[in-house]
Each structure stands twice: as C-alpha cells, then as structure tokens.
Chain A
Amino acid sequence: MLAVTGSGGPRIAALNEAAEAAGLILGEPLADARAKAGEVQTRAIDSAADDAALRRLALWATRYTPTASPWCEENGADGFFLDIEGAAHLFGGEERLLADLSLRLEKNFGLPARLAIADTPGMAWALAHFARAYASFLPRPAEEGDHAQHGGGGKYESSEQAMPPPPRFARSPSPASLRYVGADKHVILPPGQEAQALAPLPVEALRLSPDTCRTLRRLGFKTIGALLDKPRAPFAARFPAELLRRIDQALGRIEEPLIPIVAPPVYHTLRYLLEPLLTQEAIVALASRLMQTLAQVLTRDDVGARGLRLSLYNVDGAVETIDIALTLPSRNVAHLMRLIDLKLEKLAAAEDAGFGFEAVGLAVTRAERIAARQDELIADDDAERTESCAQLVDKLRQRLGPHGVRGFAPVASHLPERAEMLQPVAAETAAAWPEREQKSRPLLLLPRAEPTEVMALIPDGPPRRFRWRGVTYEVTGAQGPERIAAEWWRQSNGHHSPGPTRDYYLVEDSGGHRFWLYREGLYERETTAARWFVHGLFA
C-alpha cells in the first residue's frame, strides 16, 4: 500500500512493509515503482489529517511523560519524541515502558511502531529509523544488563491514513551496547555510546536535507562514521551549518530543545484505572484524590496552584483536557474540586465519555508562592475575605467563561470610549485610577455614539433642543463645551485622518434627564455642517 503525493508527477510519500520488501524507495516516482513492483495500490496522501492524527497520538502519549513533542517537517512529521527522563521507573524500567508503549500503539491504534531509546533525540531518531535495516552493523549486546536512554520511532500506516512513528529519549545509567527489545523492533542505546552506534548508520540518519545527503554521498561519505573521523573545519566551510549541528545534536554535544505539545506542568500526577470511569462524580472523586496527593507536595514547597489541567484519557485514545485558571494561588482541595465539578458540568452536554476514561491525570500548570499561614485557625479577616472573593471569582468564571467576570481598568486616553477597558479580574491588577477629575463624565456610556438632530442658536453654540430615539428634548441647561481632540498619533494604520475634534456638552432637559452630547468637527475649520451625537447618560 502506498501513500502518494504529487510533485513532478506522483511520488511515493509512504510505503508499507510489503512495498519495502519489493524494493520500492521513498521519494521514487510512482511510475518507476509500477515498473519495479507491478501492481501497487495507491492513495493520495492527506497531510493535514496526518498532522492531526500525530497530534492526537502525541497527546495520548503524554500519559507516559508530560513532555511529548510531535515531529515537525524537518523530522519527517511521522513520529514524536518523548522525554522519559525520570519517568521510566514509573513503568518498571525502560524496557517495560517500551513494551507497554508498543503494545498500546498496536492495540489501540493498530500502529506497528518503531521505537528507540537513546540519550539524545537525534540518536533516538536515527535508531528508530535505521536500527533494523543496519542491525548487522550495529554492536550486539555483550551481556544482559543495562540500558540508557532512547528515542523511538515508529512508522506505519493504517487502513486510511498514514501514521507516524515516534522516538523518545530518556536516560539511565550504565554501559553496554545496543539492546534489542520485542523481536528486534525496538532498541535501547546505553548512554555514552552514541558515537559507536552512529558510526555504521547512513548519513540520512542525521536528519539532513536531501541536498546535503546527496552531496555527501557523491563525495563518498556513506556512513556517519566516515564523517566523524574527519576534521570539522572543512565541513563547516563547505556544508550548510545543519550538518555539524545535527552531528553534535546526535552526540549530545549541543542541546536539542524539544517543543512539547502541551506546556509541561510544574506538578503532575496520573492514575490508571482498571475499570473505565464514566460518570462525572467518579471523575471528581478521583480528581480530588489526585489533588490531595498534589496538595501535599504543594504545601511542602509552599506554593499554590494558579493553573490546573485535568486530562482524561479515553479508552479509545482520545484525550480530553480541561484547563482551569485561578485568581489567587490555592491548594484548597475542596475549592479546586468545586471548580472542576463546575467545568465538567458545563462540558457534560457537549462531551461524550464514549467507552469511559482509562486514566486520569491532574497537573499544576502554574504554581505561585503563597504566604504561609495556618489553614485552620484564621485570625486574619482581610486575608480570608480576599481569599473567599478569589474563590467566588473562580467559581463564577468556570460557569460564565473567562470574560464573564471583569473589572474596570483605566487607560491613558483622552477619548472617552478608549479611556477604560474591562479586564479579567486578577489579583495583580491593582488598577491605578487617575486623581479624581473635575470633568463631568457620564454614568452610562453608549456602546456607540448615536446621531441626533440638534437645534442650536449658533452653529458652534450649545444645543437648545434635540431629538434622540424619536423623542424631542427641550434643553434647559447646557454645560460646556469640553473640547476633546482626536488622537492624531494613532492615525498610522488604515485611516488617513484621525477624525474630527469633538465638543462635549452636558445638557439637561426640562424633565431632569441629563445627557452627554457632542458636536463633531470644528465649525468652519473642519466642517460646515456639524453633526451631533449622544454619547452617554448621566444619573
């Protein structure tokens, strides 16, 4: 089965094992493949769907470690790295982790993955892709015993869409040579042996661009070992920087940063379940147990959670994540659980638990120091109020959305409609309002100034009578004008002129209603027929 894409005629973008066995090569024109192998089944490649599937898979893999990083284009976009440093022992060692991952990929997704564990992502990538093909050149294990870090990659395709292989890397102590796991499909490279393991692999294992690879091959460099022996300076001069960078990355001489699919949490806990969870109560009950575990760690470190993420791993491989932001750092289990409960309630309608959730993870994505104090004996009334207020805001926000709860914040602008904004309430936004001004400002501001017909005695005088929303008001008193010029320094983008100057009047009608009117444009300088607007209402 082949997935095919077009560029200068259709070419092979992915192929399965049978096709590989038939001698077909990635990137080969489809016509050549047909000539070689006779009958081939082809499908057009759907890279968007592949990317989405890879993303889902990487998200799914966060059950093993918080740092999962799907491969981007330069890595082939058909796998992901997992940083399993410090995580492998949770699964009983690297070998077991590898076995578990492989089993679940096969069982849940039908993906025959190729996995490798090594100290660096580059090494893991190389092994995941080439360890099997070059098995005979690689050192066999001398004896049982140790492992190190790895990356893994799998490659594969399922019935509809091509799906990707993952590498991961992690570390563990100890010397030895390559260990093969699971019918030679997966490999684990002990630390410190990158150079030996890399040497017999082809230059393609370095994740270089096809051009660079071609040049290298033309010059006779077929294996990476051949490159490693040579002095660096000529390579630096003649090849793109990527060559030396990739070598250094594979050997661990320079760091290769991984971009995690979700921001790694500060604290994290996860629980697997024997029976899938289906009900909201059960999820909340389990989450609260997880939170209790986290709360102990939080208390130990004197911090509270400002952000929480609840991950629900569905049996069918989908992952549901729920993010919760808090106004004040907290480690109050009851409060945090109420928030989760509210959020789940809101999602319940839209969300289908399907076969249930087989694992639930709870992570603190943002932690902040909280002042140490006794939780039980609260003497400080103010602090208590502040906290209960923050809890109230959090609660309201879960149900009403992040923009449901806002406070006023001043903005330095002369234009009344720009002079303030609504901001989500947060502990750190202590808005500094300017000194009380003597200028009159309306209690209610219309979202958009509404045009009005005004009769004035002289063109630049105060209004005597105006008509607004179908009612005529007789003005008994007008105060003003207060002249507010447009912000000429804002004219840069789009609009050619900053808009006319406004003259604001506070007017009162005979019934005691008070309005804020303005006349747009300076008479005889900016306009001859001034337009009037109602902009606000006074109490």
Chain B
Amino acid sequence: MTQPTAQIVMRNRAAVAEELRRLLPKMEGVRAARPIPFGLAAIDRHLPQGGLACGALHEIVPEAGATPAAFGFLVALLVRLSGTNPLFLVLPAYGLRDYGRPYGHGLRALGLDPSRLILVETAHRKDTLWAMEEALRSRAPAAVAGIIDQLDLKTSQRLHLAAADCGLPLFLLRPAPSLPSPACGGGWEGGSATATRWRVGPAPAARDRFGLITRARWRLSLERCRNGRTGEWMVEYDHVAHRFSLAAALADPAVSRRAGEEPFRRAG
C-alpha cells in the first residue's frame, strides 16, 4: 500500500498546489476582478490570473543606464489600461532628473494620450508617499505610477495595501543606482511587498527593411512574481496597436546585416 499512497500524495500535492495557487490571491485580498493582461501568452502564463493584478504594487527596476527604457515600459503598461480615466504620475524632485523630464510628444509617440496623464510633483519623500496613497484612496485614477528611489518593507506593504484596498494598480519605477543588484547579495529579497518586479534593459530596436526604427525593444526580466513564476523575455512594443510581442531575435534586418554596411537611410 505504500507505493500507491506515495503516488496519491504526489498527485494530490500537484492538485493542492494548483488549488492553492488559485486561492492565494483571494486570501490576500486582491480584489480586482480583471487583471491587466500583456496580451502575450508567453508572459501571461507566468503571472497569476493571467495578467498583472490590478490591486497590487508592481515594481519596475532599470538596469544601469536604462532608466529611459524602464520608463518606456512603464508608459507602455499605462497605455494598456483602457478607458479615459486619468493616470497619475508622482514625480519627486530627484525623479528622473538625470534623464530629463517626461515629454508629452514622446508619450504620444508611445501611444499614451498626454492629456490623460496628470503629473504630481513633490518636494520630499513624505509628500511623494502621501500623494501616491491619496491618489489610490480616491479611486479616481485608472492607475497610479510613481518614481521612488528608496523603499523599505514597511512602506511597500503600506502602498501595496492601499492599492489592494482600492483595486488600482500602483507602478513604482525605482531608478536606484545605489541599491544592490540581486547578483551581488540579494538585498532585494524580502525587502518589498511588491507583487511583481520587472527589470528592464535596453535592446536594439526593431527595424523595417529600410533600417528605420519601428518598434522599441526591451529586455524584460520578471525577477519576482508572487504566486507566479519568474522569467526573461525580449519584447517589442507596438505603439500603434498598443501591443507587446516577442522579438524574433534574427528577424531584425539591422542586426543581421553585415558590419560595415551602411545600415541607415540618410535623408534631407
């Protein structure tokens, strides 16, 4: 009898794990009915409920020097939130300073209607956190995005709870050069209540056959994913259709072209 029991236990374990995976989000009080799907099965498979949970905190961390790419990814996520409700971006004074400031025409180029975005500029950290929480609690915006350099466990829990209570997603971009990368010591683990953490790196853009840039590309790595699995992808973002797709590495004419060949068109 021992062997069948073991088999049953094994089978049960898989079923129980599956069941738990289904129940856990509910037990954690994530209320949002509809998650935000990437529309990309490869990624959605890794996320619980098949998309980014609505009432949750999501972190976006740039690789060194990739803040613009990370911000682009953040904007792309915001674009995927349909509707006309405003989006709040909380921008502290240090914000993206080294990398300039969000540019309306550029947001538009990525497919985000700039008049939908409300910029909240704060002078200190206290105000930044307060503004994010107020924005969430009012339930007025479709999503809240913020930029913050330091985030401890307690603060992140608080923000996560605020997001969960109101069923709104909170995206935090953390341009934190001073923070240790996971490779050198795992200072991240347990440091945050975030539901997902995305690390974004730059990648050569997709080009058409004339060598013109058509779609931005990013290296995405899902480093943490509560109730889901981590993963790495190379995605490209279509700003016209507002869609992500997986980049086919060798389909890029610019990359496959031999070195030394003039890869771009010269105009004017």
Identify the A interface with B (CB < 8 A). 385, 388-389, 391-393, 395-396, 399-400, 403-410, 416, 419-420, 422, 425, 430-431, 433, 436-437, 440-447, 461-462, 471, 476-483, 503, 506, 508, 510-514, 536-539
Q: Are B65 and A513 in contact (CB under 8 A)?
A: yes
State the Cβ distance, B141 to closest chain A Cβ, in Å: 7
Q: Are B213 and A506 in contact (CB under 8 A)?
A: yes
CA distance A8 to B129 in the complex (A): 65
Q: Are B73 and A477 in contact (CB under 8 A)?
A: no
In the complex, the chain A residue whose C-beta lies closest to that of B137 is A392
CA distance A538 to B263 in the complex (A): 19
Decide if B233 is an interface residue (CB 8 Å cutoff): no
Q: Are B268 and A408 in contact (CB under 8 A)?
A: no
State the Cβ distance, B113 to closest chain A Cβ, in Å: 7
Q: Are B121 and A400 in contact (CB under 8 A)?
A: yes
Q: Are A476 and B254 in contact (CB under 8 A)?
A: yes
CA distance A218 to B172 in the complex (A): 83
Question: Which B71-119 residues have a C-beta within 8 angstroms of A?
Answer: 71-73, 75-76, 85-86, 88, 96, 99-110, 113-115, 117-119
Residues of B within 8 A of A443 (CB): 68, 71-72, 75, 102-103, 106-107, 109-110
Q: Are A420 and B104 in contact (CB under 8 A)?
A: yes
CA distance A180 to B122 in the complex (A): 60
CA distance A300 to B139 in the complex (A): 30
If the complex has contacts A396-B131, A461-B266, A479-B264, are A445 and B115 also in contact, measured as CB distance less than 8 A? no
Question: Which B216-240 residues have a C-beta within 8 angstroms of A?
Answer: 216-219
Can you list 9 contacts pairing A with B, beta carbon distance less than 8 Å? A389-B86, A391-B140, A399-B130, A400-B123, A400-B127, A511-B202, A513-B66, A514-B202, A536-B100
Contact pick for B100, options A406, A437, A503, A537, CB 8 Å: A537
Residues of B within 8 A of A392 (CB): 88, 134-135, 138, 140-141
Q: Which of B105, B123, B204 has the largest number of chain A CB atoms within 10 A?
A: B105
CA distance A376 to B86 in the complex (A): 24
Decide if B205 is an interface residue (CB 8 Å cutoff): yes
Instruction: Contacts A407-B117, A444-B103, A539-B68 known; list 17 others, CB within 8 Å.
Output: A388-B138, A396-B134, A400-B120, A407-B114, A407-B115, A442-B103, A443-B71, A443-B107, A476-B254, A477-B211, A482-B268, A508-B205, A512-B201, A512-B217, A513-B202, A536-B100, A539-B73
Q: Which of A392, A433, A503 has the largest number of chain B CB atoms within 10 A?
A: A392
CA distance A394 to B186 in the complex (A): 41
Contact pick for A405, options B108, B120, B264, CB 8 Å: B120
Residues of A within 8 A of B115 (CB): 407-409, 430-431, 433
CA distance A139 to B88 in the complex (A): 71
CA distance A277 to B88 in the complex (A): 38
Q: Are B100 and A445 in contact (CB under 8 A)?
A: yes
Q: Are B69 and A477 in contact (CB under 8 A)?
A: no
Decide if B267 is an interface residue (CB 8 Å cutoff): yes
Decide if B179 is an interface residue (CB 8 Å cutoff): no
CA distance A508 to B114 in the complex (A): 25
Residues of B within 8 A of A481 (CB): 267-268
Q: Are A406 and B127 in contact (CB under 8 A)?
A: no
Q: Are B120 and A444 in contact (CB under 8 A)?
A: no
State the Cβ distance, B250 to closest chain A Cβ, in Å: 16
Q: Are B73 and A403 in contact (CB under 8 A)?
A: no
Q: Are A385 and B109 in contact (CB under 8 A)?
A: no
In the complex, the chain A residue whose C-beta lies closest to that of B201 is A512
Q: Are B211 and A389 in contact (CB under 8 A)?
A: no
State the Cβ distance, A287 to closest chain B Cβ, in Å: 21
CA distance A514 to B213 in the complex (A): 10
Contact pick for A441, options B72, B109, B117, B118, CB 8 Å: B109
CA distance A396 to B212 in the complex (A): 43
CA distance A404 to B135 in the complex (A): 13
State the Cβ distance, B234 to closest chain A Cβ, in Å: 10
State the Cβ distance, B242 to closest chain A Cβ, in Å: 13
Residues of B within 8 A of A393 (CB): 118
CA distance A408 to B105 in the complex (A): 9
Rank and list the top 6 A-B pairs by shortest CB-CB distance, nearest first.
A539-B72, A512-B202, A408-B104, A389-B140, A445-B103, A446-B100
Residues of B within 8 A of A440 (CB): 109, 213
State the Cβ distance, B69 to closest chain A Cβ, in Å: 6
CA distance A479 to B219 in the complex (A): 22
Residues of A within 8 A of B106 (CB): 441-445, 536, 538-539
Residues of B within 8 A of A385 (CB): 85, 140
Residues of B within 8 A of A410 (CB): 104-105, 114
Decide if B203 is an interface residue (CB 8 Å cutoff): yes
Residues of A within 8 A of B108 (CB): 433, 436, 441
Residues of B within 8 A of A442 (CB): 103, 106
CA distance A155 to B10 in the complex (A): 100
In the complex, the chain A residue whose C-beta lies closest to that of B127 is A400
In the complex, the chain B residue whose C-beta lies closest to that of A417 is B103
Q: Are A400 and B122 in contact (CB under 8 A)?
A: yes
Residues of A within 8 A of B65 (CB): 471, 511, 513
If the complex has contacts A392-B134, A477-B263, are A444 and B102 also in contact, measured as CB distance less than 8 A? yes
State the Cβ distance, A5 to closest chain B Cβ, in Å: 46
Q: Which of A410, A430, A461 has the largest number of chain B CB atoms within 10 A?
A: A410
CA distance A83 to B121 in the complex (A): 43
CA distance A187 to B119 in the complex (A): 58
CA distance A512 to B263 in the complex (A): 15
Q: Are A538 and B216 in contact (CB under 8 A)?
A: yes
CA distance A481 to B213 in the complex (A): 14
CA distance A187 to B110 in the complex (A): 74
CA distance A539 to B73 in the complex (A): 8
Residues of A within 8 A of B103 (CB): 416, 420, 441-445, 536
If the complex has contacts A392-B140, A433-B114, A536-B106, are A477 and B254 also in contact, measured as CB distance less than 8 A? yes
CA distance A206 to B139 in the complex (A): 63
In the complex, the chain A residue whose C-beta lies closest to that of B97 is A447
CA distance A430 to B115 in the complex (A): 8
Q: Are A404 and B72 in contact (CB under 8 A)?
A: no
If the complex has contacts A392-B134, A441-B103, are A539 and B86 also in contact, measured as CB distance less than 8 A? no
Q: Are A406 and B118 in contact (CB under 8 A)?
A: yes
Residues of B within 8 A of A514 (CB): 68, 202, 205, 213, 216
Q: Are A477 and B264 in contact (CB under 8 A)?
A: yes
Decide if B258 is an interface residue (CB 8 Å cutoff): no
State the Cβ distance, A510 to closest chain B Cβ, in Å: 8
Q: Are B122 and A479 in contact (CB under 8 A)?
A: no
CA distance A392 to B212 in the complex (A): 43
Q: Are A512 and B204 in contact (CB under 8 A)?
A: yes
Contact pick for B71, options A395, A409, A419, A539, CB 8 Å: A539
If the complex has contacts A389-B85, A433-B115, A476-B254, are A445 and B205 also in contact, measured as CB distance less than 8 A? no
CA distance A539 to B218 in the complex (A): 9
Q: Are A408 and B75 in contact (CB under 8 A)?
A: no
If the complex has contacts A476-B204, A512-B217, are A406 and B121 also in contact, measured as CB distance less than 8 A? yes
Q: Are A447 and B120 in contact (CB under 8 A)?
A: no
Binary interface encoding of chain B residues 188-223 relative to chain A, with 1 for a CB under 8 A from any of its CBs, else 0: 000000000000011111010001110011110000
CA distance A512 to B72 in the complex (A): 13
CA distance A471 to B121 in the complex (A): 30
Contact pick for A444, options B101, B118, B119, B127, CB 8 Å: B101
If the complex has contacts A537-B99, A538-B72, are A388 and B105 also in contact, measured as CB distance less than 8 A? no
State the Cβ distance, B108 to closest chain A Cβ, in Å: 6
